[in-house]
Chain A
Amino acid sequence: MKRPGAAPAVPAAPGFRTALARLFTIQAAFTYERMLGVGFAFAAEPLLRALRRGGPGGDGAFRAALARQSGFFNAHPYLAALAVGAVARAEADGAPPERIERLRAALVGPLGSLGDRLIWAGWLPACAAVALLMVAFGARAWAVVVFLALYNVVHVWLRVWGLRQGWRAGVGVAGALAAPGLQRSLELVAPVAAMLVGAALPALLGWYPFRVRWEVPVAAGAAVLFAAGVRLLQGRATGLVTAALALAVVVGVGVLW
């Protein structure tokens, strides 16, 4: 017999696995009004089906929960799994709607900031740098294989861990964000990425198929000058746009020479 107030176990397949699979589409219906809202509800729906199967309020409770979850939500797409699990658990536990709304709103900032620092500004540049170093050393297709494997081990793990932890913790999900492993990863990822990126960029000068040796220092000098020039623009044009214009000018010069 189940002890009153005991946490339900992580739901067995298919609900949990379907929710996990749907998390990969969480941004598919992205809009500027609801951000991830629609994808959030779509991912949470398999976990919320428990409400339909005899939870408090039955089908009405399920539909009300689904309607609530399709509202505005924004976070890092991988760490949104934590919110999906936590909110679905809170709904399953019959938490008051206003408390669930507060939980969703409270998770937006921390999950966005954590994901941006951990993944976009840390793990992704680190993996890209490893792949570029491998390209420089002639690893060929292995560079792509290692990049995808390395990156996605963390990516997929974050989604699985997030959904599981969110479901386990429910409204107490804030504790999961303070997990020592996560905090330690945050401390480590920036220095590691900085060192790898720092090594990969100059290493590519030794890989690029230059025709003559003097091109190497000239290209390095051009890179430094170009970086300084884009920096002087102070955000008025991105590096991409400036590079496209600069290369278009070079192409024009090359043809009209």
Chain B
Amino acid sequence: MTVASVLAVIGVGALAGLDLVSVPQAMIGRPLVAGFLGGAVVGGPLAGLATGAVLELFAFETLPVGASRYPDWGPAAAAAGALAALRGGVWDPAWMAGIMVVALLAAWLGGLGLMLVRRLNAAQIRSREPALGRGDAGALAALVFGGIARDFVRAGILTGVTFAVGERVARHVAAGWRAPRELADVAVLGTALGVALLSAWRLFGQGAARRFLAVGTVAGVALAAGLLAW
């Protein structure tokens, strides 16, 4: 792992974190995308994609609605995707369980970091209140670009810390795992699917959409059976 690769992971995570709120909200920060990109920059895009797909299930719970506090999946997924790729294409359930614990905590911490950025933005706005009252276009630009810079730094730090901590945790968990590895597989996909299932029910479990959810689920079970048979 070179310094350039680590910096590339941090760069991807920072951009993914920036995407959530600041610019451009194009869903680059969704776990599926950020995980894929994080894996790609260290040479394992498919491991990153698989990790991102699992994290995407957790992210179904997140509706980034205005002032509510929501997790920031981008930096966590970019770091997790890169960490999965470090395993060299080998799917180790214990390694994955270690990554997931750190990634989930990082996403949650990312939400707290966003609140901090918003408070810093507010302090900047207060200091430029007279200029805003005068209709100063330069002050507006400075506040917007300042907000982007703060968010970029926040997401970059979060990615770097997640990557560093995640690497240690995953390595220790994988080396010290003594239980059957199937336990880790079942726990990772079971919790991820559980969160997604509940979120789907909360979103579509009422009214006419419920019927469509049921039809889709039946189709999905058939698809899963087909994939397993294949």
- Residue of B27, B194, B200 touching A198 (CB-CB under 8 A): B200
- B192 contacts A by Cβ under 8 Å: yes
Q: Does A101 contact B (CB under 8 A)?
A: no
Tell yes or no: B79 within 8 A of A by CB: no
| Given A29-B147, A211-B181, A248-B101; A241-B108 close (CB under 8 Å) | yes
Could you say which interface size class chain A belongs to?
A: 35 or more
Question: What are the residues of chain B within 8 A of A240 when measuring CB–CB?
Answer: 58, 61-62, 71, 104, 107-108, 195
Knowing A62-B135, A255-B177, the reply to whether A121 touches B198 (Cβ < 8 A) is no
A106 within 8 A of B: no
Cβ proximity bits B89-124 to A, threshold 8 Å, 1 near / 0 not: 001011001101100110110000000001101101
- How big is the B interface, by class? 35 or more
Which single member of B24, B144, B220 contacts A38 (CB below 8 Å)? B144
Interface contact A244-B190, CB-CB below 8 Å? no
Known: A63-B134, A152-B27, A254-B183. A223 touches B147 (CB 8 A): no
Assess the A226–B191 pair: CB atoms within 8 A. Answer: yes
Given A131-B32, A198-B214, A200-B220, are A191 and B23 neighbors across the interface (CB < 8 Å)?
A: no
Contact A29 B143 (CB under 8 A): yes
Task: Tell me how far the C-beta of B80 lies from the nearest C-beta in chain A, rounded to whole angstroms.
Answer: 13
Is B25's CB under 8 angstroms from A77's CB? yes
Stretch of B7-15, B45-53, B159-167 that contacts chain A = B45-53
Task: For A33, list chain B residues within 8 Å (CB).
Answer: 122, 125
Q: Does B137 contact A (CB under 8 A)?
A: yes
Which chain B residue lies CB-closest to A31? B122
Residue in A closest to B134 when the chains form the complex, CB atoms: A63
**Closest Cβ neighbor of B199 among chain A residues:** A239
**Cα–Cα, bound, A74→B33 (Å):** 28
Name the residue of chain A whose CB is nearest to the CB of B196. A201
Q: Does B60 contact A128, Cβ atoms closer than 8 Å? A: yes
Instruction: Type the 1/0 row for B60-103, where 1 means its CB is closer than 8 Å to any CB of A.
Output: 11111111000100000000000000000001011001101100
- A254-B21 contact in complex given A191-B212, A220-B193, C-beta closer than 8 Å: no
Q: Establish whether residues A24 and B94, one from each chain, have CB atoms under 8 Å apart when the complex forms.
A: no
With A25-B148, A203-B227 as given contacts, are A120 and B188 in contact (CB-CB < 8 Å)?
A: no
Within 8 A of A (CB), among B172-230: 172-173, 176-179, 181-201, 203-204, 208-210, 212-221, 223-228
Prevailing SS type, chain B contact patch:
helix
Q: Does A147 lie within 8 Å of B198, measured CB to CB?
A: no
Contact with A along B24-58 (1 / 0, CB 8 A): 11111010110010000000011001100100111
User: For chains A and B in complex, what number of residue pairs have CB atoms within 8 angstroms?
Assistant: 344
Q: Answer whether residue A194 sits at the interface, using C-beta atoms and an 8 A cutoff.
A: yes
Check if B45 sits within 8 Å of A141, measured CB to CB.
yes
Nearest chain A CB to B30 CB, angstrom units: 7
Q: Answer whether residue A103 sits at the interface, using C-beta atoms and an 8 A cutoff.
A: no
The majority secondary structure among interface residues of chain A is helix
For the complex, what is the distance from the CA of A251 to the CA of B191, rounded to whole Å? 13
B66 touching A206, Cβ below 8 Å: no
Q: A140 interface residue, CB < 8 Å from B?
A: yes
Which of the residues B22, B25, B147 comes within 8 Å of A155, measured between beta carbons? B25
Give the docked Cα–Cα distance between A195 and B199 (Å): 14
Looking at the complex, which one of B22, B60, B91 makes contact with A197 (CB distance below 8 Å)? B60
Task: Considering the complex, give the chain B residue whose CB is closest to the CB of A44.
Answer: B140
**A12 proximal to B (CB < 8 A):** no
| Least distance between A35 CB and chain B CB atoms (Å) | 7
- B214: chain A residues at CB < 8 Å are 198
4 closest cross-chain pairs (CB), A and B = A198-B216, A206-B227, A222-B190, A226-B194
B binding-site residues for A, Cβ under 8 Å: 21-28, 30, 32-33, 36, 45-46, 49-50, 53, 56-67, 71, 91, 93-94, 97-98, 100-101, 104-105, 107-108, 118-119, 121-122, 124-125, 132-137, 140-141, 143-148, 151, 172-173, 176-179, 181-201, 203-204, 208-210, 212-221, 223-228
Q: Please list 15 pairs of residues, one from A and one from B, whose beta carbons are closer than 8 Å in the complex, sorted by A's number.
A: A29-B143, A31-B125, A32-B122, A66-B135, A112-B66, A128-B60, A147-B33, A148-B26, A208-B185, A210-B185, A212-B182, A219-B185, A246-B187, A247-B101, A256-B178
